Chain A
Amino acid sequence: MLLIVLVIANQIALKAFDTPNDDGSSITLEWKTDSKFQFYEIFRAPNLSDEFQKICKLDGGASTYVDAQVQSGVQYYYVVKGLGSDGDTPSETAGPVSGAAQIFNLGRINIAICIIILFAAIIYYITRARRGEKLFVRKIPGIAAMEEAIGRATEMGKPVLYVPGIMDIDEPETIASMSILGRVAEKTAEYGTPLYVPTSKAMVMSMAQQVVKEAAIRVGRPDWFNIDNVNYLTDDQFGYVSAVDGIMVREKPATNFYLGKFYAESLILAETGFSTGAIQIAGTALPDQLPFFVAACDYTLIGEELYAASAYLSQEPVQLGSLKGQDVGKLIFVVVVILGVLDRLIGVDIIWQLFSTN
């Protein structure tokens, strides 16, 4: 009797349960790790009467395992065996346990609430704008300077260069850049100023051609659009940079726009543009590249300003309403961040846990 009690006391306490917030295709195992074991082996069987099959071997420090090779709704039994220098120690059998699909990922409910709050704030202000209410949106110097910069190029009789970043159209910065390009193209077409849009991705080129063409038609200048000015250069990062630098040095554009996603090429482009004497407006959401643009360009759209630029340039009440809603949403989140900091300092941790994504 005493021997049996000792064996049970030495066993690894194993807990097996359905992995929360998944499609029912996994079961999680948890046990208390013990330094006397160098390895753990995991065994699984669909019935207690069946032979347990080894499904994996883990290092001694492991205390959890997610078995992602199970069928939803089917029951399984598990045993974990600790392998040590003193011999092997099996756990008690855990089970039966089965995976069940969850309809909603409760681990992400806080994200859903944040998005709903932001969407609600934006839709509220859009509705107010639709009713004809005049909304105040703070001035963004970089965006306000765009028209002036295009006007400068027109007066100097030089072209405008628009660089939409080096990433493809699946990047949000590139989509934002295409939206701004539409506004820039409207102005350049209106003034009859040549616009060069060299791209490093063929899909971006295709989209940019359509955006520039439609903009020219919108302002009644379809003859202004030259498809060869919106062209593809190369996917290679530095090949693209050298080609764009070549355009800057040869054509000497009076205005350069760098709006999109940039990496190491940001400073090479901006410094070359600076050396040609162009007025430069840049914008990106990557904090690592912003200092380069700030140092080398006349105006820089920082983070959110890049996404706001198209709406701001349009001056359409509905679009401005969305900006107002975004600002209000930001205010709400700033208050939450301050409360979160206080919450952590005091040690209450309510907001901390509320916004945890684990």
Chain B
Amino acid sequence: MKQTLPLIIVFGFGFFVIVAFFIPLRGFQDASQTFETWYTGVIAFFVFVGIFNIVKVNVNKIQRRLRDWQYSIMLLFFLVLMMTAGFVGGPDGGLFDYLFEHMQIPLGATMFSLLAFFVASAAFRAFRARTPEATLLLIAAVLVMIGRVPVGYYVWHGFPDLVEWIMNVPNTAAKRGILFGADLGLISMALRVLLGIERSYMGGGRE
């Protein structure tokens, strides 16, 4: 029963949503939208589950003096501070806004800015011409880089057009090929899930 009931729910709702895609009758569309609303409601509830987990894991870490437990104190302090600031002063203006604008956003931007350096280091490894494929990648990348900067146009007027062709024809063809395969894989997985052949997502068990 522990496995059968979820399987029935998955099959029933999954099959209904597929059928509703092809049937424009209002009842089907309304029901399909209602299910999405339920999902949103469940998501909202899980905010509390997430907060509870953060508190539980970090309190446990502090109590048992596990490695780097001091950071957990900081985490819990700011969790309580942000929540209190939000509940007392509201989300607009005040301490909550100040903390968000002057701590959260700069910290996020700092992490994002690392991407520039990581792109350079990853590109350095990827563009080493060790195999014919890597050489092809290197040539395409150099052409695109030159064509995308103003100096490329002055070196040769045809560079921007060549870059457009590389991006629009071979690049788009490859991306669409990947998407095409991914979508077929998705349909196949959906069928396995709907028919109950694939169960590992609900804790496992074989057919």
Contact = CB atoms under 8 A, between A and B. Distances in A.
B75 to A, nearest CB: 10
B188 A238 contact: no
Q: Which 3 A-B pairs have the closest CB atoms?
A: A304-B185, A182-B200, A202-B50
B203 A170 contact: no
A296 B122 contact: yes
A337 B177 CA distance: 11
B107 interface: yes
11 contacts: A108-B21, A175-B189, A203-B49, A250-B68, A295-B125, A306-B182, A306-B185, A307-B188, A314-B200, A330-B181, A333-B184
B23 interface: yes
Interface string B180-195: 1110111111111100
Interface string B1-20: 00000000000000000100
A295 B133 CA distance: 13
Contact of B118 (A24, A235, A267): A267
Interface stretch (A40-48, A284-292, A349-357): A284-292
Interface of B: 18, 21-26, 29, 39, 42-43, 46-47, 49-50, 53-54, 56-57, 60, 67-68, 104, 107-112, 114-115, 118-119, 121-123, 125-126, 174-175, 178-182, 184-193, 197-198, 200-207
Contact of A175 (B54, B60, B193): B193
Contact of A228 (B22, B39, B60, B185): B60
Given A126-B197, A290-B178, A304-B185, 15 more contacts: A23-B24, A23-B25, A103-B23, A205-B49, A206-B46, A228-B57, A236-B104, A238-B109, A267-B118, A268-B115, A285-B178, A295-B126, A307-B185, A311-B189, A316-B207
Contact of A122 (B18, B115, B121, B191): B191
A211 B202 CA distance: 6
B184 A326 contact: yes
Contacts of A250: 67-68
Nearest to A337: B180
Interface string A182-201: 11001000000000000001
Given A103-B23, A105-B24, A112-B22, A182 B175 contact: no
B197 A178 contact: no
B188 to A, nearest CB: 4
A326 B192 CA distance: 11
Given A168-B43, A287-B179, A322 B192 contact: yes
A103 B25 contact: yes
B202 A318 contact: no
Contacts of A291: 126
A339 to B, nearest CB: 15
Interface in A262-292: 264, 267-268, 270-271, 285, 287-288, 290-292
Contact of A172 (B108, B121, B189): B189
